[in-house]
Structure 1
Amino acid sequence: MKYFEVEFTISPLSADATDLLAALAGEAGFETFEETETGIKGYVQQNLFDEETLRSCIEDFPFEGTRIIYNVREAEDRDWNEQWEQEGFDPIIIADGKLVIHDGRHLPECKSGISIEIDAKLAFGTGTHETTRMICSQIEQYAKGARVLDCGTGTGILSIAALKYGAAEAIGYDIDEWSVDNARHNAVINRVDNHFTSLLGDASIIDTIDGDFDLIMANINRNILLSDMPRFVNKMHQGSILILSGFYTADIPLLVEKAENLGISLKSQIQDHDWACLVFRY
C-alpha cells in the first residue's frame, strides 16, 4: 500500500495547535502522525488523500496568528511497522480486567476473563489506541447470541472479542487486503474462525450481505462514518446496537445529529482523552 508522508511546519508551535491540526488532517484521510521539532509528520494512503480538504482546514485554522505550511512526498516503500512487529506489545487490560489483549511474546499474568491473542503486525487495532479500547469495553453487554458486523475490521480484534463474549457470528470487511488476511489469521489463532468471515471492500459490500445485524461496530474516521451510517442503519432492526468510534469529542454533535436523522437514538457515550465512543440503539 502506497503512502504519502506530509511534513507540517507550525508557527508558533504549541501542543494545542498540533493536536488540532492532527484532528483536522484526519478529515483529509490521514491515519497516523509523529511529532517533529517544527510540527508533525502525517501519513496518508495515496488513494485516500484529500488535499482540497486539507487546504481548506489549514486556511480556516481557528488559531489566530498560527501559520501552517506543509510538504508532500511519497513515503519510503517499506514495512512501517517492522519495529512494532519485532518487539510486540505488553498485555493490554480492558474493562477492569475482564478482557486482556496480548501478543504471542507477552502472555498475560492473569488467566481470568477473556484473553485475545493478536499477531503483532500493526500497533493500531491491537488495543493500544483509545478508540479500540473504548469499543472493546462496550462489547460484552451486547454480544451474546448476536450477529455482528465489524466495519473496517483491521486486525479483527472487535469481531474476535464479540465472538469470545458469545456472539453467534461476525462478519468483518476492510478496504486493505492485508488487513482482511490478518483478521482471518487472528481469528484462527483465537479459535473463532468457524464463526468469522473477513471480506475485502468498502461499505458498499454491506449491500451484498443478506439479513440484518444485532450489533454493528465501526472504528473509522468521522467523515467515513457520516458517509456510511445510512448503510449501517439499513442493516439494523428494532433493538439493534451501533457502536462508533475513531473520532474526536468535538465530532459528537455531527454524528448524533446524523444518527437521529436516520432514526436511531444515542444510548450512551464515553471518552478517553480527546477521543469518543458513541452507542446508538435502533
Structure 2
Amino acid sequence: MPNITYIEYNFIVHPLQPASDILVAELGEAGFESFVENEEGVLAYIQKNDWSENILESIHILENEMFEISFQVKEIEQENWNATWESNFKPIRVDDACVVRAPFHEKPDVEFDIVIEPKMSFGTGHHETTHMMLQHILAHNYEGKAVLDMGSGTGVLAILTAMKGAATIDAIDIDHWCYLNTKENVARNNCEHVNVFEGDAALLIDQKYDVIIANINRNILLSDIPKYVKCLNANGILFLSGFYEEDIPMISSKCNEVALKFEKNLEKNNWVAAKYVF
C-alpha cells in the first residue's frame, strides 16, 4: 500500500475541558480520523485526499468565545506516524487491574497487560469513553461469552474481553486503518479467537451475542441500536458510549423501544458509558 499523506492540525485549547472533547467530536463529524490528546490540546489527523481548505467551517466550537483555540497545520507522512504518537502516548492504568501501553513501555505488574500500537486508530484508553468501557469490561464476567465490539478502533476493548475469557469475539470497524490496526493488535496480544471485520452494522446478519460493546457517536448508536438488539441473546448486555450525559434520555428512549432496560452508567467529564440489559 502506498504511503498516505495526512494533514495534522495541532490545536492549543484553553481551558482544556470540556473544549477538547467537543472539538474532537466535531472534528470526527467533519472527517478527521485520529486524535492524540495532550496537556495543551489535541493533535488531529485527516487524509490529505479528504481535506479541503474550508474543512474547519463546520467546527462551531472554534467560534465559541468561552474558549481560546488556536492551531497550526502541517503535512505528515504515514511513515512518520509512529514517531508522532510515541512522543505523546503514555501508559493508561484502569482500576489497578489493566494497563494499556505501547511495546516500548515497561511491562507492568497487573492482571491484564494490553500492548497496542494505534497507527491512526482511535481507542487508546486516554479518552474518557474508552477508559470507562474498559472499566465496564473489568467489572463483568466474560467467561465463555460471545462478544461483539462494534467500532473497534484499536481493538483494545475486544482484546480485554478475550483476556477475560470470552469464547468468541467479533470486532468490526468501518475505517480501513482501524480494521488493519485491530488485526495487528489482536495478534500482538495473542488473542487468536478475535475475528476482525471491516464494515458497519450491515454485517450483522443472524449473529448472536451475549454482550455487545459499541463506543461510537450518538447518531450512529441511535440508528443501530435496533440492529444490536436483534443480535442479543436472552439476558444479553449492551454497553454503549460515545455520547454525553445529556444524551442519556435520548439513548435510553431508543433502548426502551426495543425492550432494553437501563441498568447503570459511568460518567467522566460529561462523557457517559451506559449499561443496558435485554
Deviations 1:157-210 (A, max 9, x none): 1111001001001001111122112111111111112x1110011111112xx4
Amino acid at match of 1:139: I
- The residue that corresponds to 2:69 in the other structure is none
Equivalent residue runs for 1:84-163 within 5 Å: 84-87=84-87, 89-95=89-95, 97-110=96-109, 112-122=110-120, 124-140=122-138, 141-163=140-162
SS at match of 1:252: helix
Please point out which of 192, 217, 221 is paired with 1:221: 217
Separation in structure 1 between the aligned mates of residue 10 and residue 83 of structure 2, nearest angstrom: 22
> Is the 2:36–2:88 contact (alpha carbons within 8 Å) kept by the matching residues of 1?
no
Residues 16, 174 of structure 1: alpha-carbon distance in 2 compared, 3 angstrom cutoff: closer
Does residue 1:191 correspond to 2:187, yes or no? no
SS at match of 1:166: coil
Separation in structure 1 between the aligned mates of residue 49 and residue 79 of structure 2, nearest angstrom: 18
| Matched positions, count | 272
- The residue that corresponds to 2:203 in the other structure is 205
- The residue that corresponds to 2:168 in the other structure is 169
Separation in structure 2 between the aligned mates of residue 88 and residue 55 of structure 1, nearest angstrom: 27
Residues 44, 126 of structure 1: alpha-carbon distance in 2 compared, 3 angstrom cutoff: same
Shift of 1:87: 3.2
Q: TM-score, normalised by structure 1?
A: 0.76
Equivalent residue runs for 1:26-65 within 5 Å: 32=35
SS at match of 1:240: strand
Unpaired runs of 5+ residues, structure 1, are 67-72
Amino acid at match of 2:92: I
Residues 120, 5 of structure 1: alpha-carbon distance in 2 compared, 3 angstrom cutoff: closer
> Is the 1:84–1:122 contact (alpha carbons within 8 Å) kept by the matching residues of 2?
no
Shift of 1:133: 0.9
Q: TM-score, normalised by structure 2?
A: 0.77
- The residue that corresponds to 1:252 in the other structure is 248
Unpaired runs of 5+ residues, structure 2, are 67-72
Separation in structure 1 between the aligned mates of residue 125 and residue 18 of structure 2, nearest angstrom: 26
SS at match of 1:143: coil
Does residue 1:237 correspond to 2:233, yes or no? yes
RMSD: 4.1
> Is the 1:23–1:248 contact (alpha carbons within 8 Å) kept by the matching residues of 2?
no
